[in-house]
Amino acid sequence: MRRHLIAIVIVLALSVLTIWAQTPKKAYMLVQVDVTNPQQYGEYTKLSPGIIEKFGGRFLARGGRTATLEGAPAQGRVVVVEFPSFERAQEFYNSTEYLAARQVRAGAATAQFILVEGL
């Protein structure tokens, strides 16, 4: 009976670990934006949230207060977006919808986009 119970616990533990290992890691898009045309950039900011949501993303930070703790000072806005996986973030960035939004942003800002996979 005791061996049977231990075997069940081991099987359950292995099942949980298998499911955990198959769960994709979240990804984070870190964006630094220097806005040069606020009116045109405002049009871009109306488009991007809906597209981000379509790909399962959500804003964690969007142009809030920043402080550079080390290195060159951050220029302009800093945005952090969480996605359910690295692949979904790439799908978002390469989507036809976001390509159109990027074209609206063109000439209104310079930006650096960095994608990092979470733990």
Give tens-digit pLDDT for 81-116.
999 999 999 999 999 999 999 999 999 999 999 999
Evaluate the CA torsion angle 60, 64, 69, 70 in order and state its sign: positive
Burial of 59-93, coded b for 16+ CB within 10 Å and e otherwise, reads: eeeeeeeeeeeeeeeeebbbbebbbbbbebbeebb
CB atoms within 10 A of CB 119: 4
DSSP 8-state code for residue 67: -
31: helix, strand or coil = strand
Q: In the CATH hierarchy, which fold is given to the domain comprising 24-117? A: Alpha-Beta Plaits (3.30.70)
Q: Are strands 77-83 and 58-62 parallel, antiparallel or unpaired?
A: antiparallel
**pLDDT given at position 23:** 83
**Element spanning 27, H or E:** strand 27-35
Across 44-69, average pLDDT = 96
Q: What is the pTM of this model?
A: 0.80
What would the two tokens of residue 114 be?
């960095």
Residue 9 confidence (pLDDT) above 70: no
32 falls in which pLDDT band (50, 70, 90)?
very high
pLDDT (tens digit per residue) in 68-84: 999 998 889 999 999 99
Q: Which residue has the higher pLDDT, 78 or 16?
A: 78
